[in-house]
Homo-oligomer: A and B are copies of this chain.
Amino acid sequence: MERFLALARAIGDESRARVLLALREGELCLCQVIELLALSPSTVSRHMEILHQAGLVERRKQGRWRYFRLASRGASPMTRLAIQWVLKSLQGEEAITADVRRIQCVRGKDPREFSSCYKAS
């Protein structure tokens, strides 16, 4: 029950829900999420910690960067149900498609390249 409530509460925040949808297209590092949400690094770090604690995202560290991706293989059934629910429910939402568009230009790029990329859009 506690695990389920942690999932629901992690999802029930607009910023975190947006991150989950953004991660559907592939992993992002923290600084990319910071740009996406336009929140302070400390706040975003906390959001990602909550998503990780709930089991919704997996993390890896590479050099200076911390990358996040949706939990998938290896995740518990309850976690996978939660991810499927949020993806299915929010797919097509205007706020989400706008995020996907804005984040397009930094997908897969080396973090050192995209610093000026967001300012344009």
Interface secondary structure of A, over-half rule:
helix
Q: Let me know if A26 is at the binding interface, CB within 8 A.
A: no
Count copies of this chain in the complex.
2
Q: Let me know if A8 is at the binding interface, CB within 8 A.
A: yes
List of B residues within 8 angstroms of A17 by Cβ: 1, 4-5, 8
Please give the number of chain A residues whose Cβ is less than 8 angstroms from any Cβ of chain B in the complex.
23
A8-B17, A85-B85 given; 19 more Cβ-contact pairs under 8 Å: A1-B14, A1-B17, A1-B93, A1-B94, A1-B95, A4-B17, A4-B86, A4-B90, A4-B93, A5-B12, A5-B17, A7-B89, A8-B9, A8-B86, A9-B12, A11-B12, A12-B12, A78-B89, A81-B85
